[in-house]
């Protein structure tokens, strides 16, 4: 007779000296017969944001429905087309001036996930609304160790005005806990790793850096507990645990390399833990976000590949020009071509994001199968600051895929956000300036 293995608590941690390591979502944490059933898995929400708009002619499909041809900007998503829907015509009416000064970024960026017209101010009296990711995080409550994880590539700007007449708080991030509290984006991979896996009281910053330079691994501290736990697991759970620990160690090594090098460039100094390479930085942050979901440390996250108004240059793809300056191309063909290259470059990283989620098993499916990923920008045509036809993609297995969907231009994106909350089982009838859930989100 085969005796059933005892269930393991979702709160179980791997423990060691000054260290606690969360576990991935294991079958042993779901002792009933549906443990491997994808439908019994938790639902997740992720947001991928690119700044400074889009060359829409290279993004927008020319045909609607299934089997549409992928425009050049979307070609990197070809391996995932069965799980993507491309939306045209969605906009944010609340990003209009409405009597305020003619500045676009400061209104459009905070409206992206809130559907709200923000207060024009350069002071501390900012006002927006709760963003969709935080609505879902609040709905989940204390189901996970972290309610959400906000990551990015660019550190926050200094206090003051970033767009004319608007506080930097409006463009530094996209997530809002409440109307007066924007959530900061973390750009240093070491800070993220320590937040996910470190015990902040166990080591001071200097000791942690010394530990990194010695190449000491967090896994060394929990080795004994790992071996004890492994003996209680079935074959599938042991495989999942091994994959999770391998991924954790891989990221840890990459962060250690960046920390030991000092993260220095010829013209600037970066905090330890941020790689010199933009490519390595982006991939590391994406891997950390996926690892956080794999361990079920959080089910809600956002990633900004650039801060709004970003002036980053991309010499590695032959674009030494400022991104923001190129976004105001004035219909100059050369500038438009360079902007399209940046857009496609960012889309390649979005494809990598989907690749990573698709590589992680989750019961009978993958992490991507139970995740809704909203990908977009606060502008369509950046040259015109057009916030009424946004480049929006919804990916993952929670809604139908392989679709190009066109809605009347200016249809509020809040309708899509409301429909997304309903798919995520949040019982709400309104969001932002919505007037009805966008039926096209769930219609096959």
Residue 422 has pLDDT above 80, yes or no: yes
pLDDT computed for residue 37 by the predictor: 63
Tokens of 346: 């960012």
347's enclosing H/E stretch is: helix 333-358
CB atoms within 10 A of CB 210: 12
Task: Name the more confident of 8 and 151.
Answer: 151
Cβ neighbours of residue 160 closer than 8 Å, sequence gap 6 or more: 122, 167, 168
Report the C-alpha gap between 143 and 133 in whole angstroms: 15
Phi, psi for 334 (deg, rounded to 5):
-65, -45
Residue 10 has pLDDT above 70, yes or no: no
Residue 20 has pLDDT above 80, yes or no: no
Domains of the chain: 46-185+278-439 (3.40.720), 188-273 (no CATH)
Label residue 318 left, alpha or beta by phi (over 0 means left) and psi (-120 to 50 means alpha).
Answer: left
pLDDT computed for residue 17 by the predictor: 54
Task: Name the more confident of 397 and 161.
Answer: 397
Task: Name the more confident of 177 and 269.
Answer: 177
Residue 100 has pLDDT above 70, yes or no: yes
Task: Name the more confident of 253 and 74.
Answer: 74
Q: Is 398 exposed, middle or buried (0-12, 13-18, 19+ CB in 10 A)?
A: buried
First to last CA, the chain: 47
What's the whole-number average pLDDT of the chain? 86
Choose from 45-49, 245-249, 292-296 the range with maximum mean pLDDT.
45-49
Residue 314 has pLDDT above 80, yes or no: yes
β-strands 161-163, 166-167: how paired? antiparallel
Task: Name the more confident of 392 and 156.
Answer: 392
From 208-212, 350-354, 413-417, the region with the lowest mean pLDDT: 208-212
pLDDT computed for residue 266 by the predictor: 32
How confident is the model over 27-43, as a mean pLDDT? 66
Task: Name the more confident of 23 and 36.
Answer: 23
Q: Which percentage of the chain shows pLDDT scores above 70?
A: 81
pTM of the model as a whole: 0.85
β-strands 84-91, 392-395: how paired? antiparallel
pLDDT computed for residue 183 by the predictor: 93
Report the C-alpha gap between 276 and 302 in whole angstroms: 22
Residue 98 has pLDDT above 80, yes or no: yes
Residue 415 has pLDDT above 50, yes or no: yes
Place of tokens 């809130």: 114
pLDDT computed for residue 213 by the predictor: 44
pLDDT computed for residue 32 by the predictor: 58
Residue 298 has pLDDT above 70, yes or no: yes
Residue 200 has pLDDT above 50, yes or no: no
pLDDT computed for residue 236 by the predictor: 74
Task: Name the more confident of 356 and 207.
Answer: 356
Phi, psi for 437 (deg, rounded to 5):
-60, 140
At 11, the pLDDT band (50, 70, 90 cuts) reads low
Question: What is the tens place of the pLDDT at every residue in 321-336?
Answer: 999 999 999 999 999 9
Q: 79, 88, 87, 82: which is closest to 66 by C-alpha?
A: 82
Question: What is the tens place of the pLDDT at every residue in 366-384?
Answer: 999 999 999 999 999 999 9
398-to-83, 98, 371 alpha-carbon distances in Å? 9, 36, 7
Tokens of 322: 């400022």
Question: What is the tens place of the pLDDT at every residue in 117-156?
Answer: 999 999 999 999 999 999 999 999 988 889 999 999 998 8
Residue 253 has pLDDT above 80, yes or no: no
Residues 54-75: b if buried by 16+ CB within 10 A, e if exposed:
bbbebbbbeeeeeebeebebbe
How confident is the model over 176-194, as a mean pLDDT? 92
pLDDT computed for residue 216 by the predictor: 59
Residue 221 has pLDDT above 50, yes or no: yes
297-to-95, 248, 288, 420 alpha-carbon distances in Å? 34, 13, 11, 22
Q: Which percentage of the chain shows pLDDT scores above 90?
A: 63
Report the C-alpha gap between 143 and 344 in whole angstroms: 36
Report the C-alpha gap between 261 and 90 in whole angstroms: 44
CB atoms within 10 A of CB 248: 24
Residue 41 has pLDDT above 50, yes or no: yes
């Amino acid at each position: 007779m085969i005796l059933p293995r005892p269930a393991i608590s979702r709160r179980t941690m791997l423990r060691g000296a000054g260290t606690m390591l969360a576990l991935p979502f294991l079958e042993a944490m779901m002792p009933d017969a549906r443990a491997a059933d994808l439908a019994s898995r938790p639902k997740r929400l992720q947001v991928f944001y690119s700044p400074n708009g889009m060359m829409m002619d290279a993004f927008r499909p020319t045909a609607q429905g299934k089997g549409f041809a992928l425009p050049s900007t979307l070609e990197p998503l070809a391996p995932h087309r069965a799980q993507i829907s491309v939306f045209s015509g969605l906009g944010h009416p609340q990003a209009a001036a409405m009597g305020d000064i003619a500045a676009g970024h400061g209104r459009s960026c905070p409206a992206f996930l809130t559907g709200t017209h923000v207060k024009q101010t350069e002071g501390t009296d900012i006002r927006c609304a709760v963003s969709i990711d935080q609505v879902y995080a609040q709905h989940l409550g204390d189901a996970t160790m972290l309610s959400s994880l906000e990551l990015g590539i660019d550190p926050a700007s200094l206090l003051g005005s970033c767009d004319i007449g608007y506080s930097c708080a409006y463009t530094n991030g996209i997530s809002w806990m409440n109307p007066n509290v924007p959530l900061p984006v973390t750009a240093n991979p070491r800070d993220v790793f320590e937040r996910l896996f470190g015990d902040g009281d166990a080591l001071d910053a200097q000791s942690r850096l010394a530990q990194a330079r010695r190449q000491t691994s967090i896994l060394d501290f929990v080795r004994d507990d790992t071996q004890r736990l492994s003996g209680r697991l079935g074959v599938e759970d042991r495989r999942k645990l091994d994959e999770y620990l391998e991924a954790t160690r891989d990221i840890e090594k990459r962060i250690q390399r960046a920390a030991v090098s000092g993260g220095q460039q010829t013209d600037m100094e970066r905090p330890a833990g941020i790689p010199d390479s933009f490519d390595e930085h982006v991939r590391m942050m994406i891997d950390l976000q996926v690892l956080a979901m794999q361990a079920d440390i959080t089910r809600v996250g956002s990633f900004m590949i650039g801060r709004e108004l970003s002036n980053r240059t991309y010499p590695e793809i032959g674009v030494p020009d400022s991104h923001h300056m190129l976004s105001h191309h004035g219909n100059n063909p050369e500038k438009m071509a360079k902007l399209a290259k940046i857009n496609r470059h960012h889309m390649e990283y979005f494809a990598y994001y989907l690749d990573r989620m698709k590589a992680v098993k989750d019961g009978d499916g993958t992490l991507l199968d139970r995740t809704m990923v909203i990908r977009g920008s606060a502008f369509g045509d950046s040259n015109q600051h057009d916030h009424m036809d946004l480049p929006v993609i919804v990916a993952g297995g929670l809604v139908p895929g392989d679709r190009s969907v066109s809605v009347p231009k200016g249809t509020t994106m809040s309708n899509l956000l409301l429909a997304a909350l309903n798919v995520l089982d949040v019982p709400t009838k309104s969001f932002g300036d919505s007037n009805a859930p966008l039926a096209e989100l769930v219609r096959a």
